[in-house]
Structure formats: C-alpha cells, structure tokens
Chains A and B, each alone.
Chain A
Amino acid sequence: MRAALAILWDSFRLLQARKLFWFALGISVLVALFYASIGFNAKGMTLFFGAKTMENPLLQEGKPEAAAFYVMIFTDVIVKLWLAWVAVVLALLSTASIFPDFISEGSIGIALSKPVGRLRLFLLKYFGGLMFVALQVTVFTTIVFVALGMRVGEWNLTVFWAVPVITFVFSLLYCMAVWIGIWTRSTLFALLGAFMMWGTALLVQWGEEGLYEISHFNPEAGVTVDFRSGTRSEGESREKDPEMVAMHRNIERAVLPLPKTRDATNYLKRLVRMKERDSLLSGVTLDDLLKGELPDPKKAAAMKRLENRHSAAYVFGTSALFEVVILSLAAWIFCRRDY
C-alpha cells in the first residue's frame, strides 16, 4: 500500500515537472472556457460570451435543439479534436519516456531491491502514466459540466464518461509505448511504436466507416455519389449491394484485433445522454444543425444506425483485449529481464 502510494506520488511529481503537462492543461482550460462562452439568444447562437451572434432558426434560447446541440459540440467537436487527438498526442509525448527512464541502469535497482513484486511495480508505474490524461480530462470535463449546467440548465453527470473513455483511448496507445519502451529501452522507439499503432488503427477504422457508408448508409438514406464529379444527390432508398456488404463485413473482422481508438471516442456520444436528444435529435448531425435544418427522417434513421453500428463489446471489449495482450507482453519482459 505504501509502495503504491510512493509510486503514484512519484508519477504525479513527474507529470508536474513536465512543461508539456502544464501547457496541455493551459490549453485545456482555454478550450473549455471557449466552450463555456457559447450561448444562445433569441436570434441564434452566440460566441465569446455573447460578443458575436450567429443567426440560426433552430439554435435559439430555450429551444431543446439548442441544448442538444450544446452537448453535441462537446461530444462531436471538442472530444474528437481536442481530447482524443491533441491532448492524447501531448500526453504520449510526455509519458513515453517514463518506462525507459525507470528501467535505466542505476535507477531500476532502487525499486527492484525493495520488497515490492515486479508485477506490482510494473502495474503501478503503468497506472501512474495514465494519470496524465485522467487529470487533464477531469479538469476539462468539470468545466464543461458546469458550463452545460449554466447554459442549458441541465446538470448532466454523464459528461463525466469522458474521463474513463478518453483515458482508456490513451491507454490503448500508451500500452504500446510501454511495451516498446521496455523492450528497446528507447523513448524514441516507444513513441514511434505508439504512433504507428495509432496510425494503423485509425486508417483501418476510417476504412471501415467509409465502407459502411457506401454499403449501408448511402443505400438506406438514398444518397448517390457521383465519384467523377464528386456531387451527392439524395433520392429514394435502394437495395444494398451484397458484394459491398460482404466487403464491409470483412474489414470489420480485420479491425477486430486492433484497438478501436476512434470508435471508442465516437461511442462517448452514446454514453453522454440527454433527456431530449435521443428522441429529438436522433441521427441529426452537427452540420445539419449549423445549417439550421433538420434532415428527413429516413436519412436521420440511417445516420443513427451508422452511429450505433458497433456494440460496446466490439468497441471496448476487443480494445481491452488488445491492451491486455500488449500489457502482458510488456509485463513479461519487465518481470523476467536481468537489469
């Protein structure tokens, strides 16, 4: 217990000493404040605490669409761009060196010569690294929670799902950095490994979503895309092409062993619940709302199916399995090595 405290406290001191940590936290607060500055009046949406007004027929003070939209800015824009992307990059840059430093000659001996088992040491150090993101997201989400309560009057605790989900997304990449870092003792390789895994996972997830759109969404919503001119036209629903459907099924299987970083981030939208949104704005995109028009029900339904196409088991279960496998490899090397 004391050993656990000592290690977590050491991790905390390490983060505190990182300039990037404060930099990231600073930007986090700015982004959260920008979010808090978005409001609604009788004409439309206002930015920077009312300094600028953007007229919109749907997003007006007191309208349930406005409240739902406000949550959507969080789940669709801020979480995706800032928390799951920039904040995770910064966190990886700051934490990739934790294990290579920890196992360096002259440093690891102190910890290993203590009455603490190696596996415990490894796990504690690992969880210490996750603190970086967990702390950042907690600060961020707290501001968002307050903003949401003040702006639209809904004190919605489900926004705090962002903390475990984003930390989990980060952990999927961090476990890679830990494994490579322990294996090669090099921070650089650790980073490269994590980014390569991330890149691969992203590409495949994009591919899967793209194929879903072509094989399921477009026929359901009646969207036709002319690939030569790039124009989209909307019409009646049509039959799905079985070959495309099969292709999508195959790529979905191929993604199975990979970490679902993007899908997990997207899943957050389903976890952050609002009283109104599910019925009112189900399948409505941010674009629709910004344009101030609601899509036809057929398209909204197709969009909703697209958003909900993966189960929690698919998104989190397989990712967790990936993490367990990578961590086991890392722990195995860590526990068996001669230092």
Chain B
Amino acid sequence: MRERPAVEIEFLKKRYGKFVALDGVALSVPRGTVFGLLGPNGAGKSTLVKSLLTIIRPTECRGSLLDKSIGDRKTLARVGYLPEHARFPDYLTGREVIRYSAGLAGVPGRIAKERAEALVGTVGMGDWGDKKVGTYSKGMKQRIGLAQALVNEPEIVFLDEPTDGVDPEGRIEIRKLIEAMREQGRTVFVNSHLLGEVEQVADEVAILSRGKVIRSGKVRDLTAGSRMFEIRSLGPVPPEIRGKLETAGLEVAGDRITVPAADAGEVQGVIDALRAAGVVIRELKEVRQSLEELFLSAVSSARQEGGKP
C-alpha cells in the first residue's frame, strides 16, 4: 500500500478582508521528499504554510497534514517550523532557544537537553551555543532556528525562506542540512523566492503566483518540457548555411546554434548539414531550461491571463 502524502491540500482559500491571499490552492507533498514552494514576494507562500500550522485561520480549508486533518493540534507535535524572519528572545542562549522550543513541543526535559546538545553541533554552532541570541549574526540565528525546528524529531519540517539574509557560504550549509534532513527520512517543505537554491535540493516544486498554483511537479519533469540542444562552431556560422538553418526554424547567433529537440537523435541531421558545409563543431550540449526561466515565463503568462478582464 502506498503511503499517503505528508501534506495533501485539496482546497485552501484565505481572504484578508477583501484581499484574496490564497485562491483555492491544491497541492500534495510526497513523504520523504524536499518540496519547494516558489513564488515572488507576496504570492502567498507564507500564508499557505501558516495555514497548515494554525498560525492563521484559513477561510476555507480541506486537506490533511501527516494523515490528520489540517488544523489538528496534536499533529503539530510531529512538525518542525522555522518562520520567515525568525526572531528569538535576545535573552536566551542558542541552547535555551532549542530547549524552549522542545518544551513547547512536549519533549521531556532530559531528552531535550541531549538533543539540543547534538543539534548545536549539527548546525555548526557548538562554540556559540551558550552565548545570547542577541549577539548572533543573521546566519547564526537561522542555524539555531533550524536546530529548534528539528528538536522534536519532526516528520515534516517547514522552512520559510531559510536562506533569507544568509551569506553564500551559509546558504550552502543550509542546503546541506536540508539534504541531511531528507536522508533522515523527513519531509522538508521549503518556501523560497530564490529559485536557484531550491532547484538544487528540491525533488518537487509548486509555483505560486497571486494565490494560485500555476505549475507543479517534479523538477526534472518541469524543466524537461522545454529541452534544447546547443551547438557551437569554431568561428561564426557561415552566412549561407546560417540562412538555411534559420529558415528551418533554428536560432543562430554568432557561433551558437540552438536546436529545440526532445532527444539527441533529432540533432544529428543538423550536425550532418554543418559538417557537410565544412563547419568545425566545437561543442554540443543539452540545455535544460532552468527553474528560473520556467518560473519567470510561468509567472508572466499567469500575469497576462490575470490581467485580462
């Protein structure tokens, strides 16, 4: 029997007064995967996560979280959360923040202490664990934030813009930590407007724009839909062959020829034609549309549709 998804939203709507922040979202997050919820600022990503965690009350909501209906309080003991712009009391030390979170989640004191000990090490804060949070840099706060989100050994962890304000080195480490969570069998739900980063870790993504999911699926499938090949010649492509290629619908720019093709077989004809004309081929590579391009095109087409009366 297949396990039910960690998160299964059938229908989620949230209105703030007249403003519709989430307009009937549906999505599903398989267990044990890293799921990226992408979208520009103001798309409603935080609103979605907060709805799942009872931080806001959705206007209408059907769905399940870890097999219990969304909004069930007990389920939250099995959930970890790092809020966007997370702030911890300045007067607590890193270790105390972790133990406070553990206490709220109902983790017994002795176990919480052990875990806090292990977690400060895991997130690379071993030397700083006993210093006050008020003295931390943004990156350090995020690390402690990740540690406190894991202290109850959650089945699913929600990270809202985890790399926000963190330097590049710190971002790489956070990515590694996310991968480690997946290896431990946790489901990780990451909100981000930084696509490049999510692309590197996420198994599946959904793109949210103006409260609607406009694309979703496996990263591999989404980016495969627009596969291209790129051929580069030594020196610019001669004008006569360039004309022929362009009439055949290929794009030629200097020494670069872009061939839309689902697989490499379809490119061979172009190579033959080039070789026959004596063009020296320097490079041939498969080009996947990056998530960023996919995102931009999806968001802008959604905007255009939305703009129509």
B-binding residues in A (CB < 8 A): 2-3, 5-7, 9-10, 13-14, 16-17, 101, 104-117, 336, 338-339
Q: Can you report 6 residue pairs joining A to B where beta carbons are below 8 Å apart?
A: A6-B104, A105-B84, A106-B86, A110-B104, A114-B77, A115-B106
Question: Contact between A114 and B76 (Cβ–Cβ < 8 Å)?
Answer: yes
Q: Cβ of A101: which chain B residues have Cβ within 8 Å of it?
A: 89
Closest beta carbon of chain B to A131's beta carbon, Å: 14
CB neighbours (8 Å) of A116 from chain B are: 73, 104
Q: Among B76, B85, B91, B148, which residue has its beta carbon within 8 angstroms of that of A106? A: B85
B110, chain A: closest CB distance, angstroms: 11
Chain A residues contacting B106 (CB-CB under 8 Å) are: 2-3, 114-115
Q: Which of chain A's residues has its CB closest to B107's CB?
A: A2
Q: Is the CB of A339 within 8 A of B100?
A: no
The answer to whether B87 and A117 have CB atoms under 8 Å apart is no
A109 touches B100 (CB 8 A): no
Tell which of A2, A107, A339 touches B50, judged by Cβ atoms closer than 8 Å: A339
Q: Which of A7, A336, A338 has the most CB of B within 10 A?
A: A338
CB distance from A16 to the nearest CB of B (A): 7
CA distance A106 to B50 in the complex (A): 11
Task: Verify B91–A16 contact, CB threshold 8 A.
Answer: yes
Taking each of B55, B86, B88, B102, which has the highest tally of chain A beta carbons within 10 Å of its own beta carbon?
B55
Is there a chain A Cβ closer than 8 Å to B201's Cβ?
Answer: no
Determine the chain B residues whose CB is within 8 A of the CB of A16 once the complex forms.
91
Q: Is the CB of B83 within 8 A of A109?
A: yes
Give the interface centre of B79, B90, B104 by most chain A CB atoms within 10 Å.
B104
Knowing A10-B100, A106-B87, A109-B50 are in contact, say whether A114-B55 is a contact too (CB < 8 A): no
At the interface, yes or no: B56 with Cβ under 8 Å from chain A? Answer: yes
Query: Which residues in A have their C-beta under 8 angstroms from that of B76?
Result: 113-115
Contact with A along B87-99 (1 / 0, CB 8 A): 1111110001001
| Chain B residues with CB under 8 A of A112 | 53-55
Whether A117 pairs with B107 at a CB distance below 8 angstroms is no
Interface size class of B (residues with CB under 8 A): 35 or more
* Chain A residues with CB under 8 A of B109: 2, 5
Q: Which residue of B lies closest to A121 (CB)?
A: B104
Residues of B within 8 A of A (CB): 16, 50, 53-57, 73-77, 79, 81, 83-92, 96, 99-109, 148, 158
The one of A7, A14, A107, A115 in contact with B87, judged by C-beta atoms closer than 8 angstroms, is: A107
Whether B81 lies near A109 (C-beta < 8 A) is: yes
Q: Known contacts A5-B103, A115-B105: does B83 contact A338 (CB below 8 Å)? A: no
Cross-chain contact B103 with A106 (CB below 8 angstroms): no
CB-defined contacts of B79 to chain A, threshold 8 Å: 113
Closest to A5 in B: B103
If A2-B107, A9-B100, A114-B101 are given as contacts, then 18 extra A-B residue pairs at C-beta distance below 8 Å, sorted by A number, are A3-B104, A3-B106, A9-B103, A13-B89, A104-B87, A105-B83, A106-B84, A109-B81, A110-B81, A111-B104, A113-B83, A114-B77, A114-B105, A115-B74, A117-B73, A336-B57, A338-B16, A339-B56
Residue picked from A16, A113, A117, A339, most chain B C-beta under 10 Å: A113
Alpha-carbon gap, A104 to B50, bound state (A): 14
Contacts of B92 in A (CB 8 A): 10, 13
State the Cβ distance, B54 to closest chain A Cβ, in Å: 6
Chain A residues near B54 (CB-CB < 8 A): 112-113
Q: Known interface pairs A338-B56, A339-B56. Does A13 touch B91 (Cβ–Cβ under 8 Å)?
A: yes
Q: How far is the CB of A129 from chain B (nearest CB, A)?
A: 14
Q: Give the nearest-CB partner of B54 in chain A.
A: A112
Closest CB in chain B relative to A327 CB, distance in Å: 21
- A339-B100 Cα distance, complex, nearest whole Å: 20
The smallest C-beta distance from B118 to any residue of chain A, in angstroms, reads 19
